Amino acid sequence: MDFALDLPDSRSKRAPLSPKKENIIPFSIPECKAYSNQFSNKSLKDTAKLVPRLVTVLPGCKDRLESTVSLLTKYKNLDHFAYERKDVWHIGLGSRSSLQVDPRGKTALMTGQGRQEECPIVGSLTDFVRDFIEDQSVRHEGKIFGQVGFNYGAHARDQSYTPGRWPILSIIIPELEITLRPDGVTLQGYDQQQLNEVCDFLKSTSVMPFRVPEPRPVNTHVNGKEYKTLVSKALAEIADGKYNKVIVSRAVDLGNLVDMPSTLLHGRRGNTPARSYIMSHAGFQATGFSPELVMAVQNGIVVTEPLAGTCSRTVPKEEDAEMLTHKLLSDPKEIVEHISSVKEAISELNRFCVPDTVSVKDLMNMKERGSVAHLGSSVYGHLSPNADPWTAFNVLFPSITASGIPKDLGLKAIDHLETRPRELYSGAVLLIDPKEEFFEAALCLRIVLQDSTNTWIQAGAGIIAQSNPDREFTETNEKMASMAPYIVFEGKGSKKAYA
């Protein structure tokens, strides 16, 4: 599913890339029912044409992770996304245009061309986002980055939910796009001065010593009694036939600001994720190591990768794979949990795929993911001609392995069992390329989250009839061990958060 871009050269004039806030000129517009009506100002409509980008190519970096962290540290005050996929880092710096939807999914804030608009969303939020992305793909080349909060799943199903502080969804078209591949670096943007600045920086990092602060491990063995009580409540509801499975999570507040790029560096070196990501947009930040995809779609093929069934990686390295596989496949609870998730994934794909095209590959393979191992499978299908990636996403999101079975009932159970909104935890980070008909959503687990009021990590466990509260609490600690040892705090940190 890897892809490349063939972009023309051009010239344009813009301000130099620098880590400072853009001067936004606000203006208001009347209520609207579709995104096509949002940009009612004539001057904006007149500019709805493709703006070609400048392209610069450099030799490959010595260490793509270090180069990514160096860039994000230098430009940390800019909005940014970085997404690692198959040994390639996709980085977006700055915001050329963006969409941010409030926690209730009722109001959209759009920025671009030095302006911002806010208006109510009337009708389908998904249609609104579709139209925004279609419009932006006409105006701008390249990749689109985004994040989707956990509550989007309930909103898309017209279920009630407890709103949080984070946007339920945000999309960003970067000012500058950098792709770090094993064989070279490609920079694409709209201003030669910006490109030169970043090129010079990347060249300098290849010869300078690379140093980042050291992490301070976090104590995650807190709130055990409260979590076990939630698990017991879930087990009682399962026994009453209210649902078959629910993922119950708990959060550990860190008490101090986290250095996100440095945490990305240490965490990535200590993990074996399916995808890695870091984002900072409008004051909301996250860094994580996704164990699985919610879904990927390219050229009409859709895949989802349910991981369910977990054990800690505590055996010697030379015996790791064989012993972990045996341990997982010898545990009836883990097998039941995984197979039920795969069956549900098949059912979901059949809702939007061409009949008789859904299949399972690599059933119950062991996947090593940092401090834990999982049972993993891949479920594929051919997207129906009357469906698009958002059709698939609205069915598959949130992931079965982060919500419950049935999913609708699992979402309701999570909302009343857990004590606070999940925000981006068990949501998704998006990488979209309309030109390549590519859409990928990585599940946001093994994550540290940060906003203006709090910084925390979070993990959950799948609760089925065979679950034990003590074991599920232990499992959350095992999963948090993929993040907790690698967190770098800004300054001296918070003593109460340290192990």
Catalytic residues: 292
Task: Give the residue from 370, 347, 374 showing the smallest Cα distance to 362.
Answer: 374
- How far apart CA 391 and CA 368 sit, in angstroms, is 31
Task: Give the residue from 159, 101, 160, 112 showing the smallest Cα distance to 139.
Answer: 112
Task: Give the residue from 148, 475, 467, 400 showing the smallest Cα distance to 409.
Answer: 400
Residue 346: CA count within 13 A, CB half-sphere: 14
**Residue 224: what are its φ and ψ, rounded to 5°?**
-65, -45
Helices (H) and strands (E) counted in the chain, each on its own, are 12, 22
Q: Measured in whole angstroms, how far is the alpha carbon of residue 289 from the centre of its chain?
A: 9
- How far apart CA 137 and CA 135 sit, in angstroms, is 5
- How far apart CA 47 and CA 113 sit, in angstroms, is 10
- How far apart CA 294 and CA 55 sit, in angstroms, is 32
Residue 494: CA count within 13 A, CB half-sphere: 14
* CA distances to 163, 167, 353, 415, 448 from 150, in Å: 10, 10, 24, 11, 15
- How far apart CA 395 and CA 404 sit, in angstroms, is 13
Rg of the chain taking only CA atoms, in angstroms:
22
> Any idea which residue has 């994000």 for tokens?
72
Task: Give the residue from 457, 445, 86 showing the smallest Cα distance to 289.
Answer: 445
State the sign of the Cα–Cα–Cα–Cα dihedral 69, 71, 73, 77: negative
Burial of residue 466 (number of CB atoms within 10 Å: 0-12, 13-18, 19+): middle
